[in-house]
């Protein structure tokens, strides 16, 4: 039923795909949807064909896929490739099981628990509880649900009908998943209060305190505060120790969204950025970002055992959960999901490949690259670092030669040319009125020479655009 030989064509296609994920090839060749539709076998056939003939489809897929392992792929908070992780993915898919019961996933359950313990210890939790989730947004949602349950356990049955207004606090720079969570949980986004940030993009604790006072004065009930450890755009780390002190005094659940930045805990040199995380009640940590696992590989860690189970357990599950052991080994009752894909095995295998020291070296390397990129930006008069670099995000813009020209438009157009030519993929965002490049360093294929090349390209494109459109201003 499974012949290794059937996979040799695909493996060789992949070998070529990765061999072409290098600077001499484009990172992508963007087409608009209509053009791309014409080039793909999207029609699903009435008659099938043998496995060997599927190389037509796989070749089409690979030809048009974005090369996220290309050293010039800086577009998101993930990228690169890890050979051990890919082996783990193949192992996971071939043994196809679901994380809900120990009965059908004995090995994966113990591996997931071992990883929860390890990551929990890195955070500083004494008896960590947790689950792998379907992504950082999912983890933030679950954390907010646990906090709500702690604040008002009757909500599970009664709903929010007669509940007081429950107020959650996040920084103005926090991820949009908190807004989705507030909506889904029935709190409403109006009950998610954005705390202003300081000039570096960190949550302002004095503002948090005054908002809590304001909430009380309105008869509302604060129940949750999140610190972001590595904000999405700037990579800023909120002052976790100070937020924790407020949370403790006010009886709020303290959650840390470390989806992007918690992985610095793997580096003795850089873990100081996460100072205070051990005071959190829950932490989200995406191993598919800085640790380079394939999507998804996201973890929710909870300080106190049993809170996941108390929040998410429900009736009507006895057809599947038969546990009569003293030790709770079925992970399913402690999550919002029923079936859940195995995401832990690839991380376990990658850990055996890299070891603690390999992870530390990887994180340190990223910080060295980020410092190098910062130098390159500072050394060019036509580039401006728009916000101080705290971690691996470099937010900069391209300045026009003439004050009559518009930096936002120029930055956008430089980005567009990079993308259209397949030279590099770097995303953009806004900070205040400025449109900025958000260059993210988290691709294990990237080296200093790749950054040299990127900035040479940016310089050349900017120069060319300004020569071509000297008067442009929008």
**Residues numbered 352-391 forming contacts with a copy of itself, rule: CB under 8 A:** 352-358
In angstroms, the CA 298 to CA 116 distance is: 11
Choice from 26, 72, 89, 128 touching a copy of itself (CB under 8 A): 89
- 212 lies in the site for a copy of itself, by CB under 8 A: no
Eight-state DSSP code of residue 402: S
- 474 lies in the site for a copy of itself, by CB under 8 A: no
CA 198, distance to chain mean position in Å, is 23
Which region among 114-122, 123-131, 397-405, 451-459 touches a copy of itself (by CB under 8 A)? Answer: 114-122
3-state helix, strand, coil in the chain (%, to 5): 45, 15, 40
- Min. distance of Cβ 280 from a copy of itself in angstroms? 21
Considering only residues 13 through 72, tell me which ones interact with a copy of itself, judged by CB under 8 A: 14-15, 17-19, 21, 28, 30-33, 36-37, 40-51, 54, 57-58, 60-62, 64-66, 68-69
Select from 337, 367, 5, 1 the least CA-distant residue to 139.
337
Residue 431 near residue 395, CB atoms below 8 Å: yes
- 459 lies in the site for a copy of itself, by CB under 8 A: no
- 98 lies in the site for a copy of itself, by CB under 8 A: yes
Q: How far apart, in Å, do the first and last CA atoms of the chain sit?
A: 62
By C-beta, is 86 or 399 nearer to a copy of itself?
86
Buried b (16+ CB within 10 A) or exposed e, 255-293: bbbbbbbbbbbbbeebbebbebbbbbbbbbbbbbbbbbb
Task: Identify the residue whose tokens are 């449109």.
Answer: 435
- Min. distance of Cβ 462 from a copy of itself in angstroms? 20
Choice from 123, 147, 151, 187 touching a copy of itself (CB under 8 A): 187
In this structure, the number of other CB atoms found within 10 A of the CB of residue 50 comes to 7
By C-beta, is 190 or 379 nearer to a copy of itself?
190
Choice from 126, 127, 153, 188 touching a copy of itself (CB under 8 A): 188
- DSSP E strands in 142-183: the ranges are 166-171
In angstroms, the CA 116 to CA 333 distance is: 17
- 135 lies in the site for a copy of itself, by CB under 8 A: yes
- Min. distance of Cβ 329 from a copy of itself in angstroms? 5
By C-beta, is 60 or 245 nearer to a copy of itself?
60
By C-beta, is 87 or 245 nearer to a copy of itself?
87
In angstroms, the CA 237 to CA 235 distance is: 7
Give the SS3 label for residue 406: coil
By C-beta, is 318 or 468 nearer to a copy of itself?
318
What are the CA-CA distances from residue 230 to residues 83, 171, 205, 286 (Å)? Answer: 26, 12, 17, 11
Total chain residues near a copy of itself (CB under 8 A): 151
- Min. distance of Cβ 442 from a copy of itself in angstroms? 13
- 111 lies in the site for a copy of itself, by CB under 8 A: yes
- Min. distance of Cβ 10 from a copy of itself in angstroms? 5
Give the SS3 label for residue 171: strand
Here's the x/- map for a copy of itself, 266-285, by CB under 8 A: it reads as: --------------------
Choice from 183, 249, 275, 464 touching a copy of itself (CB under 8 A): 183
Which region among 112-120, 203-211, 371-379, 454-462 touches a copy of itself (by CB under 8 A)? Answer: 112-120
Task: Identify the residue whose tokens are 């937010």.
Answer: 395
Considering only residues 290 through 329, tell me which ones interact with a copy of itself, judged by CB under 8 A: 294-296, 312, 314-320, 322, 325, 327, 329
Which region among 107-115, 124-132, 243-251, 299-307 touches a copy of itself (by CB under 8 A)? Answer: 107-115
Q: For residue 184, what are the contacts with CB-CB under 8 A and spacing of at least 6?
A: 141
User: How long a stretch of residues is the chain?
Assistant: 474
Bridge-based pairing state of the strands 166-171 and 192-195: parallel
Task: Identify the residue whose tokens are 């340190």.
Answer: 364
- Min. distance of Cβ 334 from a copy of itself in angstroms? 12
Establish how many alpha carbons lie within 13 A of residue 388's alpha carbon, considering only the half-sphere containing its beta carbon: 8
Choice from 125, 128, 130, 141 touching a copy of itself (CB under 8 A): 141
Considering only residues 143 through 162, tell me which ones interact with a copy of itself, judged by CB under 8 A: 145, 155-161
By C-beta, is 36 or 371 nearer to a copy of itself?
36
- 403 lies in the site for a copy of itself, by CB under 8 A: no
Choice from 72, 131, 138, 411 touching a copy of itself (CB under 8 A): 138
Select from 268, 270, 273 the least CA-distant residue to 256.
273
- 427 lies in the site for a copy of itself, by CB under 8 A: yes
By C-beta, is 68 or 263 nearer to a copy of itself?
68
Choice from 23, 25, 110, 310 touching a copy of itself (CB under 8 A): 110
Task: Identify the residue whose tokens are 């107020």.
Answer: 167
Helix (H) or strand (E) holding 341, with range, is none
Order of strands across the sheet that contains 434-440: 73-74, 425-431, 434-440, 393-398, 383-385
């Amino acid at each position: 039923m499974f012949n290794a030989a059937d996979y040799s064509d695909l493996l060789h296609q992949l070998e070529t795909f990765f061999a072409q994920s290098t600077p001499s090839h484009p990172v992508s060749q963007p087409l608009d949807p209509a053009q791309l539709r014409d080039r793909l076998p999207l029609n699903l056939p009435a008659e099938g064909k043998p496995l060997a003939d599927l190389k037509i489809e796989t070749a089409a897929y690979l030809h048009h896929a974005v090369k996220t392992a290309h050293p010039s792929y800086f577009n998101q908070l993930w990228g690169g490739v890890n050979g051990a992780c890919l082996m783990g993915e193949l192992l996971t898919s071939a043994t196809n099981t679901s994380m809900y019961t120990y009965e059908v996933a004995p090995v994966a359950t113990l591996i997931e628990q071992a990883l929860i313990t390890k990551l929990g210890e890195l955070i500083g939790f004494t008896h960590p509880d947790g689950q792998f989730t379907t992504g950082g947004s999912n983890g933030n949602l679950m954390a907010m649900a646990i906090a709500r349950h702690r604040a008002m356990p009757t909500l599970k049955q009664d709903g929010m009908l007669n509940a007081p207004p429950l107020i959650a606090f996040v920084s103005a720079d926090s991820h949009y998943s908190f807004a989705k969570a507030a909506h889904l949980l029935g709190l409403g986004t109006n009950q998610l209060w954005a705390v202003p940030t300081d000039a570096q993009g960190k949550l302002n604790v004095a503002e948090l305190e005054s908002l809590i006072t304001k909430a009380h004065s309105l008869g509302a009930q604060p129940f949750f505060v999140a610190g972001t450890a590595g904000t999405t755009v700037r990579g800023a780390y909120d002052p976790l120790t100070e937020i924790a002190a407020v949370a403790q005094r006010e009886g709020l659940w303290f959650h840390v969204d470390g989806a992007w930045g918690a992985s610095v805990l793997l580096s003795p040199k850089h873990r100081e950025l996460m100072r205070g995380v051990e005071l959190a009640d829950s932490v989200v940590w995406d191993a598919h970002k800085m640790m380079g696992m394939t999507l998804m590989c996201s973890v929710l860690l909870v300080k106190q055992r049993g809170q996941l189970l108390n929040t998410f357990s429900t009736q009507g599950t006895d057809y599947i959960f038969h546990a009569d052991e003293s030790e709770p080994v079925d992970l399913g009752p402690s999550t919002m999901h029923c079936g859940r894909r195995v995401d832990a095995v690839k991380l376990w295998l990658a850990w055996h490949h890299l070891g603690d020291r390999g992870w530390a070296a990887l994180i340190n390397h990223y910080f060295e690259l980020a410092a190098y990129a910062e130098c390159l930006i500072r050394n060019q008069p036509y580039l401006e670092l728009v916000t101080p670099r705290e971690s691996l995000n470099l937010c900069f813009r391209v300045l026009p030669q003439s004050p009559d020209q518009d930096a936002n438009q120029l930055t956008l157009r430089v980005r567009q040319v990079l993308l259209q030519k397949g030279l590099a993929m770097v995303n953009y965002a806004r900070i205040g009125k400025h449109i900025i490049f958000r260059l993210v360093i988290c691709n294990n294929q990237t080296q200093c020479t790749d950054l040299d090349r990127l900035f040479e390209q940016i310089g050349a494109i900017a120069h060319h655009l300004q020569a071509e459109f000297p008067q442009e201003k929008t």
